[in-house]
Structure 1
Amino acid sequence: MSERKTGRERGEEWWSTDIIEMHPGTIRLRGYEIQDLIGNVSFPAMIWLMLRGELPTEEQAVLLGIALAAAVDHGPQAPSIAIARIAATCGVGINSAMASAVNVLGDVHGGAGEQALEFYGAIAADMDGGASLEDAVRDRLDRFFAETKGYVPGFGHRFHPVDPRAPRLLEITRQYAREGVINGRFAGIAEAIEADIAARKGKTIPMNIDGATAVIYGELGFPPTLTRGLFVLSRSVGILAHAWEQSQKPDRNKGPLPREWLWAYTGAPPRKL
């Protein structure tokens, strides 16, 4: 029978973590002294260390930073950005405006990268089981279109005929694959999906920012769930910028539309009580 643990031991284990060690005068992140990390490790490399437990190579950190930088903002028409700006006009602090915005980054707005990487990963698993790239893509798309009428995650954009961010990210991904930093497998899967969709529909449905960043996060070995978290980190930069900009303006309680544009009322006609 194991010896009963003391109250102190139970307290120390209550929030046990592999991430940080801290006591007066000492801070270690994943075993590294914070003073050694400061000035020597970039922010993307720090994100990698905190999530993965080891430091990335310089090239891996740069590629991660490229993906994060690409998705920081998409304008006030994006719900998260609009919410940050509206919240700022209500007189709340920067943290409240940011939290309000981040809280809407879910399955519909912000989750497509995670969904795209799950889709890529399923195809990669089929290939590991012996299927060719073309067969794996075709079978997964057959299944997808049979089960849903929605869009394939990571492809198509409601504003851009071609999302200007995606081709550049794929170009960089291919460059890093040629240099041996990554193997290029997820880039090949994504491009094969795009080609198969085009053959089915008779027109190209180009990859978007979610599909392209999912390629990079997959190439770097991040699981799908973390892809959404990385998008939240990325978009938080734009959210902060817009919340700060709006907070410097005199607007108060600014709604989603100018006051002369009111909503369409679709309820009961006027009636007496």
Structure 2
Amino acid sequence: MTNEPDDIRDWWQTSIIDMAPGKIAFRGRPIEDLIGTVSFPQMIWLMTRGDLPSPAQAKLLEAALVAGVDHGPQAPSIAAARMAATCGVGLNNVMATGVNMLGDIHGGAGEQCAELYMLIAGRLDASTALDAAIEAELSAWRAAHGKIIPGFGHRFHKPTDPRAPRLMALVREAAQDGIVTGRYAQIAEALQARIGADRGAPIAMNIDGATAVIFCELGFPPPLSRGLFCLSRSVGILAHGWEQMQQGGRNKGPMPPDYLPRYTPSKPDES
């Protein structure tokens, strides 16, 4: 394995895994030393970050992963997975169908929310007061993206998403124990209050907003917020896909066959 030309061996380069016949090591740690000694959240951290988290850090990451696993068949990712399960494809295809539904609007808002938190944090680093930092970045965000702020608001859970307060409580506990700083929790809660004040009614911090707090507190870059949510929601997609396979059904569409979409004819050409 060591005699190949460098242009072949250098085709792919990775610091993640060192694999050869009889050898598997992740980030320099033999697989046999990891099996049975690290948790799955710790392994996720090791693979994406290069080191092992403390048990307390892994516990906080795990809480975020647990919170996002599922939101029922009305969630597009779950609905798509269940429909795919009735189309004769394998479970891996079912899971891929669901994961591929996770985009900027559904499932990917955590990345955008983490970016916003970090922009506000950057202003705080420049000695801007929290209220002024939020005002500046909120105005800039709305000017660039519109009135909807990622991480806040929910079509079902009003004015509270039951997942968020629990996650935020865990962040505050971790901050008290010195595991995280708590600065992103402070930013998120102040941002939530400001959005609510602007609209004249309380607004929920949703799962994207709450998990983005945890991912930022733990030092994950914003794009990984989306990837980590995909890992989390994959559990629900797997469970729903498998359940649908057990229930049966063939070629189920998005609504029962007795109901058809409303036909709306196009306007006549007025030219």
Separation of aligned partners in 2, 1:217 and 1:229: 11
Deviation at 1:240, TM superposition (A): 0.3
Deviation at 1:148, TM superposition (A): 4.2
Check if 1:23 corresponds to 2:31: no
Equivalent residue for 1:155, pick from 144, 152, 156: 152
**Identity across matched positions, percent:** 58
Q: Which stretch of structure 1 is more off in the superposition, 8-17 or 155-164?
A: 8-17
What TM-score, normalized by structure 2, do the two folds share?
0.94
Deviation at 1:7, TM superposition (A): 5.4
Separation of aligned partners in 1, 2:154 and 2:123: 28
Match of 1:116 in 2: 113
Match of 1:3 in 2: none
**Unmatched 5+ residue regions in structure 1?**
1-5
1:140-177 deviation per Cα after TM superposition (whole angstroms, max 9, x unaligned):
12223344433111111011101100011001110110
Check if 1:54 corresponds to 2:54: no
- TM-aligned CA distance change 1:200 to 1:150, over 3 Å: closer
Match of 1:128 in 2: 125
Separation of aligned partners in 2, 1:7 and 1:58: 41
Equivalent residue for 1:84, pick from 62, 66, 81: 81
Match of 2:61 in 1: 64
1:89-128 deviation per Cα after TM superposition (whole angstroms, max 9, x unaligned):
0110000111111112111111110010000000000111
**Unmatched 5+ residue regions in structure 2?**
none
Separation of aligned partners in 2, 1:234 and 1:146: 32
Match of 2:257 in 1: 259
Q: Which stretch of structure 1 is more off in the superposition, 56-65 or 100-109?
A: 100-109
Aligned residues: 264
1:11-37 deviation per Cα after TM superposition (whole angstroms, max 9, x unaligned):
111111000001111100000010000
Separation of aligned partners in 1, 2:131 and 2:266: 55
Separation of aligned partners in 1, 2:264 and 2:126: 54
Q: Which runs of 4+ in 1 moved over 4 A?
A: none
Contact 2:107 2:229 in 1 (8 A): yes
Match of 1:93 in 2: 90
Tell me the secondary structure at the aligned position of residue 248 of structure 1. Answer: helix
Match of 1:222 in 2: 220
Two-structure CA RMSD over aligned residues (Å)? 1.3
